[in-house]
Amino acid sequence: MGVAETVRVDARSRSYDVVVGWGLLASLGARVHAVCKAENAFVVSDSNVAPLYLAACEASLTAAGLRVASHVFPAGEQHKRMGTFEQILEDMAGAGLTRDDVVIALGGGVVGDMAGFAAASYMRGIEVVQVPTTLLAMVDSSVGGKTAIDLSTGKNLVGAFLQPSLVVADVSLLATLDDEVFTDGMGEVVKHGVLADEELFDELAVHPLLPGTSDLAYLAHIVARNVAIKRDVVNADETERGLRQTLNLGHTLGHAIEAAHDFTLGHGHCVAAGLCCIARAAEALGWAEAGLSARIDRCVAAQGLPIDTEVAHQTLLVFATLDKKRHGDGVNVIVPTGISRCEIRRVSLAAFSHIIDLGCGTSPA
């Protein structure tokens, strides 16, 4: 077991630790026991993760004196829906969970969202501990308290902010990820580098973090740096009134690309392409420093992620403007202006259409 780093988050509503290291699952129960007064732990997981890690998770919680029940739902974004949510809540009630008990989210982003929202809703809110099992969940979705489920009209349209009481990011769990799922997480990692950490960005451009890496200490170091970047933003703006919007860099176009692919292309892949597209447009408009776009393209491509999209511009425009982050008649776009520099620009729909024309499907061959 190794703890590389503990990152302390001080959000307005709650302070908590994000423990990053390897071989941590065995100590999960003791760590939960140290921060929660729960007698019951309710583990939510999915059909991909449960066969691999649920038994170890439950054993650790039981060894710490907690009574454990669980709910495993079929893996996939298509199950992040009201029906699954209701079944989880029914099982929580059936297990006799009280307001003092704790939900454990064991899985990737879908599990974290689903379990977090169930915890936020059950008896008007009980504690949740996030145990992310994908790189994307470790560097992004398990930290910061966003929880949600999807509606037929769009992703994450119903949800709540609930900061976890603890996050345990055990990078040894990443060994069982499909290569493509590992790489997907790198979309958010590169985004964090562009937003706030030039050293991280330059390091990744030269030494991409590729699937199959056996250097757990390096992996944990990269995860902890990303958590610290997100921590700084969440501490300043927990509920996305201002600075937290910058974490949506690459996401306006990224979400449109994701929707146009009917969610068959990973979120991180779409964010990476969206990031490159907005950087290309920003440079063409003179908003970003010369050379930024090529620099971002190189770093993104080095991770094995796409730098552009072939989706038709009109389709992108329609999906981007359906996005819940649209405000009134305009769109708030996060524009990278340099590495470690970005600005929030409110643009009209016509201007956004021009951004799509400049940035999408225009990468140099």
State how far the Cα of 84 lies from the Cα of 116, in Å rounded to an integer. Answer: 13
SS in 3 state form for 105-117? EEECHHHHHHHHH
Interface residue with ligand GLY, options 247, 271, 339, 356 (CB under 6 A): 247
Between CA 119 and CA 40 the distance in angstroms is 13
Residue 195: CB minimum distance to ligand GLY, A? 11
Is residue 225 within the footprint of ligand GLY (CB under 6 A)? no
Report H helices in 164-291: 179-196, 198-206, 216-236, 251-260, 267-284
Q: Report the residue number, 11 or 25, with the smaller CB distance to ligand GLY.
A: 11
Do 61 and 111 meet the contact criterion of CB atoms below 8 Å apart? Answer: no
- Interacting span for ligand GLY (CB under 6 A) from 28-36, 139-147, 277-285, 354-362: 139-147
Q: How far is the CB of 146 from ligand GLY (least distance, A)?
A: 5
Judged by beta carbon, residue 58 or residue 140, the one nearer ligand GLY is 140
Angle between helices 267-284 and 349-359 (to 10 degrees): 100
DSSP string, 263-317: T-S-HHHHHHHHHHHHHHHHHHTT-S-TTHHHHHHHHHHHTT--S---S-HHHHH
Among 146, 155, 231, 269, binds ligand GLY (CB under 6 A): 146
* Residue 236 CB, nearest approach to ligand GLY (Å): 12
Smallest separation (angstroms) from ligand GLY to the CB of 245: 8
Minimum Å gap between C-beta 240 and ligand GLY is 6
Q: Is 244 in the site for ligand GLY (CB under 6 A)?
A: yes
Q: Is 107 in the site for ligand GLY (CB under 6 A)?
A: no
Q: Does 144 bind ligand GLY (CB under 6 A)?
A: yes
The closest residue (CB) to ligand GLY is 247
**Closer of 59 and 243 to ligand GLY (Cβ):** 243
Interaction between residue 132 and ligand GLY (CB under 6 A): no
* Contact flag: residue 140 with ligand GLY (CB under 6 A): yes
By CB under 6 A, residue 112 contacts ligand GLY = no
Cα(22)–Cα(47) distance, integer angstroms: 23
* Sheet containing strand 102-107, strands side by side: 2-10, 15-22, 166-170, 127-132, 102-107, 40-46, 67-73
74-82, 138-146, 258-266, 292-300 -> range binding ligand GLY (CB under 6 A): 138-146
**Contact status: 228 vs ligand GLY (CB under 6 A):** no
Which long-range contacts does 209-216 make (Cβ < 8 Å, 24+ apart)? 209/303, 210/183, 210/303, 210/304, 211/177, 211/179, 211/182, 211/183, 212/179, 216/2, 216/22, 216/171, 216/172
Distances in whole angstroms, Cα of residue 224 to Cα of each of 170, 215, 281: 11, 14, 31
Cβ closer to ligand GLY: 61 or 148?
148
Q: Assess 184 for contact with ligand GLY (CB under 6 A).
A: no
Question: Residue 360 Cβ, how far from ligand GLY at the closest point, in Å?
Answer: 22
Question: Smallest distance from the beta carbon of 234 to ligand GLY, in angstroms?
Answer: 7
Residues 161 and 146: their CA atoms lie apart, in Å, by: 5
- Binding-site size, ligand GLY (CB under 6 A): 6
Identify the CA nearest to 107 among candidates 46, 27, 41.
Answer: 46
Q: Name the minimum Å distance from CB 188 to ligand GLY.
A: 7
Residue 325 is a binding residue for ligand GLY (CB under 6 A): no
Give whichever of 146 and 231 is closer to ligand GLY, judged by the CB atom: 146
Asked if 334 touches ligand GLY (CB under 6 A), the answer is no
**Residue 196, interface with ligand GLY (CB under 6 A)?**
no
**Kind and range of the H or E run holding 28:** helix 28-35
Cβ count near 65 (within 10 Å): 10
Residues making contact with ligand GLY (CB under 6 A): 140, 144, 146, 240, 244, 247
